[in-house]
Structure 1
Amino acid sequence: MDETNEQVVDIRSRPFYKLLLLSAAVGALGALLTLAFIIIMTQGTQLIWEFIPQLFGLSSGTESALFIIVACTLGGLLVGLITHCTRTRPALLAEELGEFVENGRLDPRNGMVGLLRGLVGLLFGGSIGPEGPLTGGSGALGTWLAERMGLKRPVGAISTLAGMSGMFGAFLGSPFGFAMFTIEGGLEKGKLSWKLLLPSIVAASVGYGVFFALTGYVFGGGYIFPAYEEWRLLDLGYAVLLGLLGGLVGLLFIRLFKGMRSLAEKGKTHPVALALLAGLILGAVGALFPVLLFSGDAEIQVLLNDAAKLGLIMLIVLALLKVFITATCLALGWSGGYIFPSFFMGTALGLALHQMLPFIPEIVCIVCVMSGISVALLKSPIALALIIQTLFDVRLAPIIAISILAAFLLTYKAELVPATENKVPE
């Protein structure tokens, strides 16, 4: 390791303090990119699903099955054309993190194309989460800035990490969340480094501060979950069983996604047709059940409000269909994440389980199944515990931990994509 790298390694050196300042600046830019993305997504969604339908005498696009099918199909066409014209392959959140682990950077062009493709998919009702394209876009921004300034690895890698951390801190409200993703990725590699973790925490904290100062947004602040009336030791036992059930749903998602992606690989030279097919399937399902459109973020509250009216069978159907259409969108070329869709799946199935087993508190059913599904897909138990905990009563923390542990042990070897063998970048 040369002298410059030695200075970076020493966390008490002046160069490292400068690196923390760089991380803070890049984290702030990651938060601003996130804000711009959300503003465009919000305004664009209103244009497509409210203003345009009103021109045809509809109060909302989700009222018309025909409008839903046309909009989702058009979205699939646009997503496919983006892939065809740019020749960039859509990447999952896990693949973007794997690229960073392997190369210490994210390709700026691929990241920005993924950001655009994800935005288009979300605008047209895609059952995908915004955190996927935002991770790639913010990380690519960090890489681009580092390379424009002539910064070499490892400083360039830290700039990339800072961009992603700023986005996660801003959007998911956890200054430690992305740092924990880094830690948990490093556990299997046998190497951790404060020179990666501290800049990540600084970037996420600044990103959160900038985002909150501009928007007042608090992750999960809009949800009204059932109250947790009384802490009971018995609920820890329920957490094991419910977490395992969530893990099984996660395994179903993984199996379905892998099977569909394997089939899609045979037609990878026809990205427009694949994305168009996903749009048609999304539109057909969305026409029957409009609540399944979009990421599931706002739709979680719809489930909470209407659970009694929907009933046991319908809640289970909605959970399973959300698994199906999210896996379909991701496997057939739409760029997106799966954190928010997994939260929707967990909420729907948790509400159904409470109706089936009313002696288990409703909120325990929801939080345990949600935790089990999400950890099965992301394989980052501590980071997810920190993120999920921000949504719920602090007394549910041990219940969240037990359900996550149970699902993680069940699904540990089942990956959406093969884990990288490379170490965290220096």
Structure 2
Amino acid sequence: MASDTAPPRASAPSARALSASLLPALVVGVVASLLFVGVSEAAELLQGVLWKNLPDALGVGRYSVLWMLVMLTATGVAVGLVVWKVPGHAGPDPATLGLDAPVLPPTVLPGLLLAVALMLAGGPSLGPENPIIAVNVGLAFWLGSRFLPRVPGALWPVLAESATIGALFGTPVAAALVISEALAGRRTAGPLWSNLFAPLAAAAAGALTTSLVAHPTFDLGLPGLARPGWADLLSALVVASLAALLGMLGVAAFPYAHALFRRLPHPMLALPAGGLVLGLLAALGGHLTLFKGLSEIGTLARDPDGWTFGQFLTMAVVKLAALVVAASCGFRGGRIFPSVFIGVALGMAAHALVPGVDLSVGVAAGVLGMLLAVTRQGWVSLFTAAVLVDSPAILALLCFASLPAWLLVTGRPQMQLHDDGSPVT
């Protein structure tokens, strides 16, 4: 009798429908990757001019306190001008955006691209992920609806998000994990693999395009973990939990920092003020706490004994403070990449304090705990932590370490706000 009252189940997608989605998915994947690579390359070129050529020409130290203060404040002025004057004002408040981007009007996208490129070059502690996803979502939806109106409109944002995540991480696995996590909360028809078919194709195309064009890598070259022991399990549990607790401190401070900058009623006040604060933080933490953090974790990994416990811990705390300030004052950017730097610095601090903590275990567990606190994306946190050390043996440790860390963060606010400034839970 229960079947008589149950709602009818939607039919699973047919092979023909899945095949029809393949070509749009591949096109979106390639275009999304090329846009990401193009913006990243342009930002790196500008970064070289601002942080190498210009200070050398002026006879100023590249990472002197004076130059960091000048450059970060100037970056706030430049991004503030874009938010103020460019049509679309570089999109909505970035504190309200996550990986699940809204469909923005086409007029907003050029300003958002310019704002994120200036931010990446200028040094604030944010990554490219949120704005690049938003631009690709808006572009895919606008072009797809215009030239392929028979394709369901709801498919374009999913393809663009998947493609961009694949391009960002250089592998489609991350996108598949994110999409599967999103689908877990929805009532969907058919097998999971059918629902992942088109997004996975877009992610694979984006990842492969990025790999062929830019050759990205997340492997830090740390010593592999051949056989985990009880000490490694204890280390992973403790470091991941401590990283999650530190991350939650940043999450707790986020709405207050956002409210403080909101009192400055104009982007030409809030963003330069935020840039000045970021310059002061960089003076405290050193130049490795600047930028999105991906190149900087490579610097740390090449000489893990080159800093003391106190220096590693200072970099982690300063980077977290810089992430909170940059994300709350109006800079356009994402929170995953700087969170990875914080986790790496914490893991290396644990190793420096207690040499018995395996370096790879400490780094992976620190990244896992920090990402769980900041993003609340379980699969992405596990995947990113594991891929950084390129050691299959560490996966079991990370799965165990995620349990207490998740209990510490679940049900609590995350580092994202509603439009009224209240935290998303």
Q: TM (normalized to structure 1)? A: 0.87
Letter in 2 for 1:395: A
Shift of the 354–39 alpha-carbon distance from structure 1 to 2, 3 Å rule, reads same
Match of residue 286, structure 1, among 282, 304, 314: 282
Structure 1 position 14, deviation (Å): 2.5
- 1:155 is paired with a residue of what secondary structure? coil
Q: Distance in 1 between matches of 2:196 and 2:35?
A: 22
Q: CA deviation at 1:10?
A: 4.6
1:340-419 maps to which residues of 2 (within 5 A)?
340-392=337-389, 393-414=391-412, 415-417=414-416
Match of 1:310, SS state, is coil
Counterpart code for 1:74: A
- Note the C-alpha offset of 1:292: 0.9
- Give the letter for the 2:398 counterpart: I
How much has 1:32 moved relative to structure 2? Answer: 0.9
Query: Is the 8 Å Cα contact of residues 347 and 366 (structure 2) preserved in structure 1?
Result: yes
1:48 counterpart = 2:50: yes
Q: Distance in 2 between matches of 1:353 and 1:211?
A: 34
Shift of 1:336: 0.9
**For residues 297-352 of structure 1, what are the alpha-carbon distances to aligned partners after superposition, in whole Å with 9 as ceiling and x for unaligned?**
11112223444342111211111010001110110000111111111111111111
Q: How does 1:236-247 map to 2 (within 5 A)?
A: 236-247=233-244
Kept in 2, the 8 Å contact 1:315–1:348? The answer is yes
Aligned match of 1:180: 177
Query: Using a 3 Å threshold, how does the CA distance of structure 1 residues 78 and 218 change in structure 2: closer, same or farther?
Result: closer
Kindly report which structure 2 residues correspond to 1:59-70, keeping only aligned pairs within 5 A, or say none: 61-62=62-63, 64-70=64-70
Indicate the residue corresponding to 2:270 in structure 1.
Answer: 274
1:93–1:173: structure 2 CA closer, same or farther, 3 Å change rule? farther
Amino acid at match of 1:54: D
For structure 2, which runs of at least 5 residues remain unmatched after alignment?
A: 1-9, 420-425
Secondary structure of 1:390's match? helix
3-state secondary structure, aligned to 2:357: coil
CA contact (8 A) 1:146 1:159 kept: yes
- The reply on whether 1:158 has 2:155 as its aligned counterpart is yes
Using the TM superposition, give the Cα deviation of residue 93 of structure 1 relative to its aligned residue in structure 2, in angstroms. Answer: 8.2
Q: Which residue of structure 1 aligns with residue 201 of structure 2?
A: 202
- Work out whether residues 322 and 345 of structure 1, in 8 Å CA contact, stay in contact via their aligned partners in 2: yes
C-alpha distance in structure 2 between counterparts of 1:381 and 1:342, whole Å: 14
CA offset at residue 383 of structure 1? 2.8
Counterpart of 2:282, as a letter, is: G
Shift of 1:293: 0.9
The offset of 1:263, in angstroms, is 2.2
| Residue 140 of structure 1, aligned match among 138, 142, 147 | 138
1:423 is matched with which residue? Answer: none
Q: Does the Cα contact within 8 Å between 1:243 and 1:371 map onto a contact in 2?
A: yes
In the alignment, residue 17 of structure 1 is paired with which amino acid?
S
What SS does the corresponding residue of 1:358 show, helix, strand or coil?
coil
User: What is the one-letter code of the residue matched to 2:146?
Assistant: R
**1:111-130 equivalences in 2 (<5 Å):** 111-130=109-128
1:75 corresponds to which residue? Answer: 75
Q: Which residue identity is paired with 2:141?
A: T
In the alignment, residue 294 of structure 1 is paired with which amino acid?
F
Q: Sort the Cα spacing of 1:18 and 1:207 in 2 relative to 1 into closer, same or farther, 3 A.
A: same
Deviations 1:8-58 (A, max 9, x none): 975224243111211111111101111111210111111111121221235
Q: Name the aligned partner's letter for residue 61 of structure 1.
A: R
TM superposition shift of 1:388: 3.0
AA of the residue aligned to 1:36: G
Q: Distance in 2 between matches of 1:73 and 1:298?
A: 22
1:95 is aligned to 2:80: no
Residues in 1 aligned to 2:105 and 2:112: alpha-carbon distance in whole angstroms: 11
Range moving further from structure 2, 245-254 or 168-177? 168-177
SS at match of 2:153: helix
**Against the structure 1 CA distance between its residues 406 and 219, is the aligned structure 2 distance closer, same or farther, given a 3 Å change threshold?**
farther
The RMSD of aligned alpha carbons is 2.5
Aligned-pair distance for 1:219? 2.6
Secondary structure of the corresponding residue to residue 114 of structure 2: helix
Q: Distance in 1 between matches of 2:418 and 2:71?
A: 36
Q: What SS does structure 2 have at the residue aligned with 1:156?
A: coil
Q: Mark the runs of 5 or more structure 1 residues left unpaired by the alignment.
A: 1-7, 421-426
> 1:408 and 1:107, CA in 2 relative to 1: closer, same or farther beyond 3 A?
farther
Maintained 8 Å contact 2:11/2:189: no
2:278/2:322 contact within 8 Å kept: yes
2 CA distance for matches of 1:113 and 1:156?
24
Contact 1:165 1:178 in 2 (8 A): yes
Contact 1:115–1:136 (CA<8 Å) still a contact in 2?
no
Which of 8, 13, 31 is matched with 1:11 structurally? Answer: 13
1:166 Cα deviation from its structure 2 partner: 1.6
Q: Distance in 1 between matches of 2:246 and 2:321?
A: 11
Instruction: Tell me which moved more, 385-394 or 67-76.
Output: 385-394
Q: Distance in 2 between matches of 1:9 and 1:274?
A: 51
1:282 Cα deviation (Å)?
Answer: 1.3
CA distance in 2, matches of 1:266, 1:187: 39
Shift of 1:133: 1.9
* TM-score, normalisation: structure 2: 0.87
